[in-house]
Amino acid sequence: MISKASAQPSPGADTSGDSYLPRHGNGGYRVRHYDLELDYKIGPNRLSASAAITAEATQALSRFTLDFGDFRINRVLVNGKPAKYLRRAHKLQVKPAKSLALGSEFLVEVHYVGNPRPLPGLWGDIGWDELTDGSLVASQPVGAPSWFPCNDHPADKATYRVALTTSSPYLVAVTGNLVSRYTRASTTQWIFERPEPTPTYLMSVQIGRYDDIVLASGGVPQRAAVPPRLRRAFSRDFGRQGQIMDSLQRLFGPYPFGEYVIVVTDDDLDDPIEAQGMSIFGANHVDGRRTHERLVVHELAHQWFGNSLTVADWRHIWLNEGFATYAEWLWSEESGGQSAHVWAKTWHARMKAKPADLRLADPGMARMFDERVYKRGGLLLHALRCTVGDAVFFPLVKAWAMENRHGLVTTAAFVALAERFAGRSLGGFFDAWLDSPALPPLPLA
């Protein structure tokens, strides 16, 4: 049972201290780098792997824990020496041969094998999942341990190297820059590096029979992995991708990663999936009529809000979803569709018809992905724009993205920045929009 109560990590504790998901993530150390060697057989869904985790002890440690799924562990080493370990639920408890001093850097190696599968949770099954022909990883918020041992909390951002070997007919896309690819007989090894600080839930693996397409030329490198049967419809639905990227860069500042990759699976997906430098859509999101272009914008906006700027605690999730929602409305305004104010009025009316029992600043664990978090977050941003004016609002948004690039963010930090740009207190405004369950009236445009 996951407790909603906040907690501070205690020595060697298997808790992150997160106010919503304290059992995901661990105390006592910070991860600096993950080096993953993965060998995956698609038919039997069999993963043989090793993870080398470089971390720093934030307190003296006689033991520590990692979040990890259901795999057979062959051995665990700490600083090259065998360590004792114990499995409890989805925690791997490790006792090194020698205690770790405060501030010391240490290397954990876990060698494991098994059949990766999603982890069950409040939001359904999350993590590594099989497709009809291939695999995908959708880890938000707690699915990363379904394929590698980790400190599964958004505040513990690290760099990555991922080497994945699988059958040669399949294209592999991992959240990172492709640095090399080697084909030997019937298998190919793909090696990716993720140099930017990245939380575990935003690391993803995509495997399928995809065509590799250049999505947009000039500026940010943009590619897509698409099933051959969907290429024609895809070219229409994502035909404005370059313009969308240019628009969001004007609004939010330079794109925060080296490239942007879109994957379209050959299976349907309930919702698109965000990952670091990558967005994943289902075949059902491609129809050749741009029906789902708002989702294209939404997922790209997450590269700034959610990925580069990562919430320090899950209760601040409106900072991810509110900005991505408002980006949809801004793109509509810029591309000749309805104005952001018309969208705001429409959604304000819809939200007003729903129960007034959600506080945006603290929606509760069960409501992290409630539609009201998304739409009320977008409404807050539009109301702020109406309150302070465009001349303050847009520089504020760009500064928020630029000053916190690759960092951690909180609601309090956003409020402070907004007041700095406005040059006055906005306490009444934010109290009404963030802390009151009642939906405030929408200001005039």
Q: How far is it, in rounded angstroms, from Cα 388 to Cα 338?
A: 22
Extract the tokens encoding 133. Answer: 């022909």
| Structure-token pair, residue 180 | 């090399």
* Total residue count of the chain as it appears in this document: 445
Q: Which long-range contacts does 216-219 make (Cβ < 8 Å, 24+ apart)?
A: 216/241, 216/242, 216/245, 217/242, 218/242, 219/245, 219/246, 219/249
Distance, in Å, from the CA atom of 38 to the CA atom of 320, rounded to the nearest integer, reads 30
Tell me if 195 sits within 8 A of 127, measured CB to CB: no
Closest CA to 18 of 127, 151, 153, 156: 153
Residue 21 CA to residue 174 CA, distance in Å, equals: 26
37 assigned ligand-binding residue: no
Q: In what order do the strands lie in the sheet with 260-264?
A: 211-216, 222-226, 260-264, 278-281, 273-275
Q: Which of 40, 299, 326, 328 is catalytic?
A: 299
**Active-site residue among 112, 160, 260, 374?**
374
Query: Is 39 buried (19+), middle (13-18) or exposed (0-12) by CB count in 10 A?
Result: middle
Distance separating alpha carbons of residues 116 and 146, to the nearest angstrom: 6
302 labeled part of a ligand binding site? yes
The backbone torsions φ and ψ at residue 3, rounded to the nearest 5 degrees and listed phi first, read -85, 145
Catalytic (active site) residue 274: no
Let me know if 299 is a catalytic residue.
yes
Pairing of strands 260-264, 278-281: parallel
Is 153 part of any known ligand binding site? no
Lay out the sheet containing 119-121: strands in order across: 119-121, 124-131, 134-138, 205-208, 171-174
8 A C-beta contact, residue 152 and residue 68: no
Judged on CB neighbours under 10 Å (0-12, 13-18, 19+), 308 is buried
Tokens (6 digits) for 15 = 């808790």
Q: How many angstroms separate the CA atoms of 260 and 269, rounded?
A: 20
Token pair listed for 45: 């869904």
For 164, the token pair is 């994945």
The CA radius of gyration of the chain, in Å to the nearest whole number, is 22
Any idea which residues carry the catalytic annotation? 299, 374
Binding site as annotated, residues: 298, 302, 321
Binding site as annotated, residues for Zn(2+): 298, 302, 321
